[in-house]
Amino acid sequence: MDIVVANLTQVFGAASRPVVALDRVTHTFPSQRFTCILGPSGCGKSTLAQIVGGIEPFTSGSVTIGGKGSAAQPLGTHSVMVWQHLNLFPWRTVIDNVAFGLEMQGVPTAERHQRADALLTSVGLRGFEQHRPPQLSGGMRQRVALARALIMERPIMLMDEPFAALDAQTKIVMQEELVRIYERSKMTILFVTHAIDEAILLGDEVVVMTARPGRIKEVIPVNLPRPRSQEMINTPEFGRLYDRALHLIREEVLLSMRQQQEATAGST
Amino acid sequence: MNAGAQRQSRTKAVIYWAAPYLVIAAVLVAWELAVRLNGIAPIFLPAPSVILKYLFAMTVDGSMPYHLSVTFLRILVGFSVAAIAGVLVGIAMGMSPLTARIFEPWIGALYPLPKISLIPLLIIWLGTGESYKIVISAVTAFFPVVISTFAAIRQVDTGLMKAAKDLGANTRQIQYNVVIPAALPGIFSGLQLGMGVTMIMIVAAEMIGGTSDSGMGYLLIHAGQVLETEKVFAGLIVLAIFGAVITSAQKRIDHLIAPWAHREH
């Protein structure tokens, strides 16, 4: 299922002092591909993912999901979100967090636990079914969040800086886990990040966004072979892509920092 | 670590553990000696040993267990009424802005009013029987419960609600499966506040009702009026222990129902 975004504009705040988060963003995220959205903080990349997921409304433009001929359905029915802050339910056990979506659909306990068990095993959390999220490490909580999204079996997975809070080593392990899941499942993935190496390592293409107002600055195709692994970071091709993205993003980051400084100075 | 240092650290641990008990014992001994050596009249300050004797006698003759259980029953009834009404209204306010708008001026106006000032009116309406004691304590405890519940519901992390919606939950499912469990820790702290004021108001109401003839409040005021200071002290000790038991029992129940809520503390 392609995700076709056309002239998407998102304006926050009062009419007197509007903040343009997204400015006429147009892009087709191809079906079954892994697209990374890279941009400085505050550029509206999370907003874009949330709009595609039907979580936030938007001001104007259009977002269409689905192949040719199929009727357009409301946003959110084909996608599932993995959140930056995970948003796990702390009062639920790990297995009941993972099975939440099925429980809401009315799937009987035995069946949904069986399916959740299978997923927990595949993400390496066997034996932690009855723990609660606050008892787990950051990497383990991340796996729970991933399993909770995967159990929905929706064709599109939206990921909003999911690994930003992890330590460097755990991040590497989770990236490899995600690559493995993607290469097996062939979902369509939109992965929001501000880390250049992460975007290139994971994505089939990297959409680089400008500082506010968020526009698409350039789309970098990533032709590194799959299966991907961390060793590819040392290849000349990776280095070339990294330099390209760094060059594009540097001026946007500087611009974004200047904007934030002005905003801080203006508010005090 | 050598044997000497080990022994030293064990001694330190024993002192650390025993210190509060030693201080309590020292205070009691000092109290006992002060009363005996200075010949203080028991109507002003009875010695701890005498209080203990009274406590024992009142337990054996059944008067202390009787008054304590009457007070306990009244507290249970008053607290239950306040808890049920407060939690229900608080949840309704938290989930429906219209309900919140309707209740807010009433709560805003009545919450700062010292509830004890309602006693004359309640005695006119209800007399000094059971219903007056239950109503005054329930009305008092209702406010902390309803305010905490309302705040807890409103402060639920919107990220959790968005996540549940994204996973296919409808509005009702979000309310039952996300909002209420997420608000439970806040609701429990409101219930603890409510229990505290229920205990205060029941004992106070037992003291004030002129025709009252039972309960710890009655026991205290009655013993005080006839200068049986030993009984007053005995009653105070029982009430203090009773309060501590209720509070810790409530914390245990909260922990059983919401074990995730206290992990971080």
* ipTM of the complex as predicted: 0.89
**Pairwise CB contact (< 8 Å): B177 & A100:** yes
**Pairwise CB contact (< 8 Å): A91 & B160:** no
Output B28 or A263, whichever has higher pLDDT: B28
pLDDT of res. B264: 44
Dist CA A48 CA A60 (whole Å): 13
CB contacts of A105 in chain B (<8 Å) are 168
By Cβ distance, the residue of A54, A81, A104 closest to B169 is A104
* Superfamily grouping for domain B48-257: MetI-like (1.10.3720.10)
Residues above pLDDT 70, as percent of chain B: 96
CB contacts of A135 in chain B (<8 Å) are 263
- Residue A85 belongs to a domain: no
Dist CA A170 CA A142 (whole Å): 10
- Model's pTM, two decimal places? 0.83
By Cβ distance, the residue of B166, B170, B184 closest to A76 is B166
- Residue A239 belongs to a domain: yes
Answer whether residue A82 shows pLDDT above 70: yes
Answer whether residue A72 shows pLDDT above 70: no
DSSP secondary structure letters along chain B: --HHHHHHHHHHHHHHHHHHHHHHHHHHHHHHHHHHHHT--TTT---HHHHHHHHHHHHHTTHHHHHHHHHHHHHHHHHHHHHHHHHHHHHHHHH-HHHHHHHHHHHHHHTTS-GGGGHHHHHHHHTTSHHHHHHHHHHHHHHHHHHHHHHHHHTS-HHHHHHHHHTT--HHHHIIIIIHHHHHHHHHHHHHHHHHHHHHHHHHHHHH-TT---SHHHHHHHHHHTT-HHHHHHHHHHHHHHHHHHHHHHHHHHHHH-TTTTTT-
- Residue A204 belongs to a domain: yes
Output A251 or B237, whichever has higher pLDDT: B237
pLDDT of res. A25: 92
**What does the block give as tokens for A80?**
């599932």
Answer whether residue A268 shows pLDDT above 70: no
Output B32 or A258, whichever has higher pLDDT: B32
**Pairwise CB contact (< 8 Å): B159 & A85:** yes
Query: Can you tell me the mean pLDDT for B221-238?
Result: 93
Query: Can you tell me the mean pLDDT for A141-170?
Result: 92
By Cβ distance, the residue of B159, B167, B264 closest to A104 is B167
- Measured between CA atoms, how close is A203 to chain B, in angstroms? 24
Answer whether residue A265 shows pLDDT above 90: no
- Measured between CA atoms, how close is B160 to chain A, in angstroms? 5
pLDDT of res. A259: 80
Which among A85, A78, A87, A114 is positioned nearest to A99, based on CA atoms? A114
Work out the number of other CB atoms within 10 angstroms of the CB of residue A59.
Answer: 14
Query: Can you tell me the mean pLDDT for B41-60?
Result: 93
Query: Tokens 């002239």 identify what position?
Result: A7
Answer whether residue A103 shows pLDDT above 90: yes
Dist CA A127 CA B176 (whole Å): 28
Q: Which of B13-22, B176-185, B207-216 has the lowest mean pLDDT?
A: B207-216
Average pLDDT, chain A: 90
By Cβ distance, the residue of A87, A103, A105 closest to B159 is A87
- Measured between CA atoms, how close is A107 to chain B, in angstroms? 13
- Measured between CA atoms, how close is A150 to chain B, in angstroms? 11
pLDDT of res. B128: 83
Dist CA A8 CA A10 (whole Å): 7
Domain count along chain A:
1
- Measured between CA atoms, how close is A101 to chain B, in angstroms? 5
Nearest chain A residue to B157 by CA distance is A87
Q: Which of A102-116, A248-262, B250-264 has the lowest mean pLDDT?
A: B250-264
CB contacts of B166 in chain A (<8 Å) are 53-55, 76, 80-81
pLDDT of res. A17: 82
Query: Can you tell me the mean pLDDT for A6-31?
Result: 89
A100 in reach of chain B (CB within 8 A): yes
By Cβ distance, the residue of A54, A100, A132 closest to B167 is A100
**Pairwise CB contact (< 8 Å): B162 & A87:** yes
Query: Can you tell me the mean pLDDT for A106-128?
Result: 93
CB contacts of B174 in chain A (<8 Å) are none
Dist CA A261 CA A242 (whole Å): 27
Number of inter-chain CB pairs under 8 A, A vs B:
57
Query: Are A163 and A198 spatial neighbours (Cβ–Cβ below 8 Å)?
Result: yes
**Pairwise CB contact (< 8 Å): A104 & B170:** yes
- Residue A93 belongs to a domain: no
Answer whether residue B59 shows pLDDT above 70: yes
Query: Can you tell me the mean pLDDT for A113-139?
Result: 92
Answer whether residue A75 shows pLDDT above 90: no
pLDDT of res. A18: 85
- Measured between CA atoms, how close is A56 to chain B, in angstroms? 10
**Contact residues of B toward A, CB < 8 A:** 157, 159-160, 162-170, 173, 177-178, 181-182, 184, 258-261, 263-264
Query: What's the CATH number where A216 sits?
Result: 3.40.50.300
Q: How confident is the model at residue B265 (pLDDT cuts 50, 70, 90)?
A: very low
Output A112 or A211, whichever has higher pLDDT: A112
Selected residue of A100, A102, A144, A153 to mutate for chain B interface (largest B Cβ count, 10 A): A100
- Residue A55 belongs to a domain: yes
Query: Can you tell me the mean pLDDT for A221-234?
Result: 89
- Residue A94 belongs to a domain: no
- Residue A120 belongs to a domain: no
- Residue A135 belongs to a domain: no
**Pairwise CB contact (< 8 Å): A87 & B168:** no
Q: pLDDT tens-digit profile of A167-207?
A: 888 899 999 999 999 998 889 999 999 999 999 999 999 99
> Could you tell me the residue range of the domain that residue A170 belongs to?
3-78+154-267
Q: pLDDT tens-digit profile of B191-226?
A: 999 999 999 999 999 988 666 788 999 999 999 999
